[in-house]
């Protein structure tokens, strides 16, 4: 940030996206695979304007917010696609962020349904992880930049 740039004081919060409720949401539709860590916590920064805190340029704040919004939208889209792939027909989110799903009728279980369902579940989980990793890779340079700036700010406060 240069002296000429307009600045903005912000407070950073690490927003955590958690997919740990998948068992509760999907029940027996979800098949777990040890090589597919689909319930890991994912952190992105959220900026909020403040009267005291770290200072950044308005351009930086706009760029950081755009990257965060884009990443959170990509993570949410991947999550919704995973739920739909497992049979969710209606997905709603409450004000507090809690997700609930409705499912169509459970299909009649013909012999071999578990094998077929596990194959579909695995394909959906691979797609989910691919989308998440792509979104996080695009966000990583911004995450690293914000992390560096937070470290500089914290070091300056200690001296």
Give the separation between CA 153 and CA 49, rounded to whole angstroms: 16
Q: What is the mean pLDDT of residues 133-157?
A: 88
**What predicted TM-score, i.e. pTM, was given to this entire model?**
0.79
Q: Provide the pLDDT for residue 13.
A: 58
Contact 117, 86 (CB under 8 A): no
Segment holding 38, helix H or strand E: none
Band the pLDDT of 132: cuts 50, 70, 90.
very high
Which of 124, 140, 18 is CA-nearest to residue 68?
A: 140
Q: Residues 52, 58, 64, 68: is their CA dihedral positive or negative? A: positive
Among 9-23, 75-89, 103-117, the range of highest mean pLDDT: 75-89
Q: What is the mean pLDDT of the chain?
A: 81
CA 90/CA 104 separation, integer angstroms: 9
């Amino acid at each position: 940030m240069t002296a000429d740039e307009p600045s903005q004081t912000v407070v950073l919060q690490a927003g955590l996206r958690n997919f740990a409720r998948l068992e509760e949401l999907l029940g027996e539709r979800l098949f777990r695979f040890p090589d597919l860590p689909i319930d890991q916590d994912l952190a992105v920064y959220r900026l909020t304007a403040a009267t005291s805190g770290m200072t950044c340029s308005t351009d930086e704040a706009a760029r950081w917010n755009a990257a965060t919004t884009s990443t959170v939208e990509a993570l949410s889209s991947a999550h919704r696609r995973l739920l739909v792939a497992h049979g969710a027909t209606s997905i709603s989110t409450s004000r507090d962020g809690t997700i609930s799903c409705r499912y169509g009728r459970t299909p009649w279980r013909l012999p071999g349904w578990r094998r077929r369902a596990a194959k579909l579940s695995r394909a959906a989980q691979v797609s989910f992880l691919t989308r998440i990793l792509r979104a996080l890779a695009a966000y990583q340079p911004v995450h690293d930049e914000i992390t560096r700036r937070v470290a500089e700010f914290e070091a300056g406060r200690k001296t």
